Structure 1
Amino acid sequence: MNTTSTLHPIPSGNEPQPGGDDRDYDGLDAEEREAIAEAAGAGVRAAAWIQSLAERQSDDNNRRCLERYARAVERILTREIVLDRSGPLEGELLDELDPANFMIEPWNATVPMDLAPAEQVALAAIGACAPGLPVNYALGADLPRVIALVGHALNIGGAPDPAA
């Protein structure tokens, strides 16, 4: 399973200066930066697992639904977590996380999705966690707990352990 991001790299911005305040360049402290990095890692892992589910679908429409789901999860966990977001995610990105995308047979699919019950539960749990992450106000304290839930969902769904 490929666990590298399919999104374009984010160019680095200003880096902290030696001896300077840790919050000078991005408004985050080290604990918050670490939590965001963990979220990004979880997003890439989740997207890779969801992509592996997509690849085994015999119907192209089912495959595309899961591919969109994977891209939405990865984008949210790697790009959308910001310190000063004023509200929840809205629009098309959020619509991609609707459980109907994998729980209900797409109107144009010829067969139901090939997903085990544990995989469906894991997809639903990831989709439920992801939209709340960008508006997490205590990034260093709360974000690791939510990322742990994403990890538990991946384990329940049968995603490969990255440590193995």
Structure 2
Amino acid sequence: MLDIEIEDMRWQELALETLAHEAVSAALAHVQLDLDDCEVVILACDDARIAELNEEFREKAKATNVLSWPSEDLAAETPGADPERPEADFTGEIALGDIAIAYDTCAREAEEAGKSMTDHVRHLVVHGTLHLLGYDHIRDEDATLMETLEVEILGKLGIPNPYEH
């Protein structure tokens, strides 16, 4: 199940529901999970709101493009290894967590990179979903793994490698 909470109406004009569904489904399918078995919540907001969240949860008083709050820590202890697989709760559902995405930062980044907003948003939703699944980019080996997965997933969506300049 994908629950999208839209605080900034510009997201509706971009058809975020469709983009997010494509991106989350593709990311989950890549790790052999089905969106129908999982729960993901997305908050579609603006820079002011995401700056508040970034300050509250990461002690960084600035806007960012996407934030993720995994329901459980699935991260691998060994650098570059796959995270643990999420498990269903007693209801049979896999609660993965929450993602917040900021319109202003996404639009600015897409324009600066010469990318379409829709491709950039799908990339960031894939990125956020991978964080919910325990992937990260703090250690170099983990970053390489996460970026490789992103490129593979985005390729299936017809989106070029976002890391090539």
TM-score, scaled relative to structure 2 = 0.33
TM-score, scaled relative to structure 1 = 0.33
